[in-house]
Structures are given as structure tokens and as C-alpha cells.
């Protein structure tokens, strides 16, 4: 099983649609979880950290299910500017350890007018 | 908003040559990282650095690679003898005590 696995995509959706991305991770000791977005040939930009209780930031909602080792990202009312590749990242550190980020391959989203 | 800066934005080098990629992390950050992304592939961890020493490195980070923090602001990645397969985007990242990492805009390394 790959360390971090994401929906292969691409997702092509109309403006205003709701789209959900899924991610699974293999290391049950993982402690920190993130969603990044990456535009073509640009750096990953932090979108959201993901907490056990779930968290919301405007149109974006992230959920973590530790029992299933599963992370999700929901985008509501999608905009053209949401078009990007969405990367799931997991920090394998425990407690105070920083550790490295393990990234999934990403899911490409294209929002069409 | 403070940001991680990287130079150069694009480096073209002949195979076998040494290359140094430079990064200025966010000033109050304590943890520093290098990642790379080969075109069309996922972002891969290379090395992490804390308290003036390597804290973790991946299998990719072999003897051809080294990192240094020569002064209080710069963090460099050196590749001693570049190979064609070293062509990639190289990203520097930094973080405070929390695990959230902020990435620089990368250096595109092209090996000819």
C-alpha cells in the first residue's frame, strides 16, 4: 500500500459544483495532516491543516478519520480560480517531532464556466 | 506575509558539474527542509535540518547531496556531481515549532 494515496482524477466540474477529494495514508502513527494546492509548475501552497474534529475555512471543509486512515477535502460552490492540483500531505512525526511531509500524487481539478 | 525565498528561479548546468541552490527561510522558523518534484511526479522529501544538523534524510539524499546553513539566514542544497536524473523542481520549506511547513517558489534545475 502506498504511503499516501489520492483519487487519480482529473475532476472536471462546472462552476458552482461541490467536489470532494479523498486521501488515505498507511502509517497509523501519523499525527499531522494537510491539504496543499499546487498550480502548474508552482510551489505547494498550504490550503488547510486537518484536525480530528474537522475544520472549515469558507467554502473548504476538511475531515480526518483516524480509524479508517482517511482524509477528505470538500469544496463547495467551486470557482474557476479553484482549478489546480490538490495535494494531500501527511507528517509521519509523532508528538513534538517535525518529520518530513509525505505527499500524495495529487488530484487535478478543472472548474469550467 | 513573510515568505520563503529561493534563488535562482532556474538553473541550467552541465552533467557532472556542482550546483548550489539557495534558500532564505522565514526568519523565526527553526526547521528547514528540501523537497524535489520531477516533472509530472509527486513532491518528494529530501532532507530536514534542525539545530545546525540533519535530522532526517530520504534514500534520494545520497552522498552527492549536502546541506548547509552558512549564516543566520541562508540554507543551501549542494549537488556535487549532477546527473541527468537530478533535473527537477527543488523546493525549500521551513516551519516553526508546529509542523506546518511553508514552501518557497522553487528552483527549476535543468541538467544537460
Asked whether the beta carbons of residue A42 and residue B105 sit closer than 8 angstroms, the reply is yes
Dump pLDDT digits (tens) for A48-105.
988 777 889 999 999 999 999 999 999 999 999 999 999 999 987 654 445 789 999 9
Q: What is the pLDDT along chain B (112 residues), one digit of tens a residue?
A: 779 999 999 999 999 999 999 999 999 898 999 999 999 999 999 999 988 899 889 999 999 999 999 887 899 999 999 999 999 999 999 998 777 899 999 999 999 9
State which residue of chain A sits closest to B56, comparing Cα positions.
A99
Which among B34, B103, B104 is the top mutation candidate for probing chain A, defined by the most A β-carbons within 10 Å of its own β-carbon?
B103
Q: For residue B42, give the nearest of A96, A100, A104 by CB distance.
A: A104
Q: For residue A100, give the nearest of B41, B45, B106 by CB distance.
A: B45
489520492: which residue's cell?
A: A6
Burial class (CB in 10 A: 0-12, 13-18, 19+), B62: exposed
Amino acid at each position: 500500500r502506498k504511503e499516501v494515496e489520492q483519487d487519480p482524477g482529473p475532476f472536471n466540474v462546472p462552476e458552482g459544483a461541490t467536489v470532494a477529494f479523498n486521501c488515505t495514508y498507511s502509517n497509523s502513527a501519523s499525527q499531522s495532516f494537510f491539504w496543499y494546492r499546487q498550480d502548474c509548475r508552482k510551489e505547494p501552497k498550504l490550503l488547510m491543516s486537518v484536525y480530528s474534529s474537522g475544520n472549515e475555512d469558507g467554502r473548504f471543509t476538511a475531515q480526518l478519520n483516524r480509524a479508517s486512515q482517511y482524509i477528505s477535502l470538500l469544496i463547495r460552490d467551486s470557482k474557476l480560480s479553484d482549478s489546480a492540483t490538490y495535494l494531500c500531505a501527511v507528517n509521519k512525526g509523532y508528538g513534538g517531532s517535525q518529520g518530513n511531509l509525505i505527499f500524495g500524487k495529487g488530484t487535478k481539478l478543472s472548474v469550467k464556466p | 506575509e513573510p515568505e520563503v525565498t529561493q534563488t535562482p528561479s532556474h538553473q541550467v548546468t552541465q552533467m557532472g558539474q556542482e550546483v548550489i541552490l539557495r534558500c532564505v527561510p522565514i526568519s523565526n522558523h527553526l526547521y528547514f527542509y528540501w523537497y524535489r518534484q520531477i516533472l509530472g511526479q509527486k513532491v518528494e522529501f529530501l532532507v530536514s535540518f534542525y539545530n545546525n544538523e540533519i535530522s532526517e534524510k530520504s534514500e534520494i539524499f545520497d552522498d552527492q547531496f549536502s546541506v548547509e546553513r552558512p549564516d543566520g539566514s541562508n540554507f543551501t542544497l549542494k549537488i556535487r556531481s549532477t546527473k541527468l536524473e537530478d533535473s527537477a523542481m527543488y523546493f525549500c520549506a521551513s516551519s516553526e515549532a508546529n509542523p506546518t511547513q511553508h514552501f518557497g517558489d522553487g528552483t527549476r534545475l535543468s541538467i544537460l
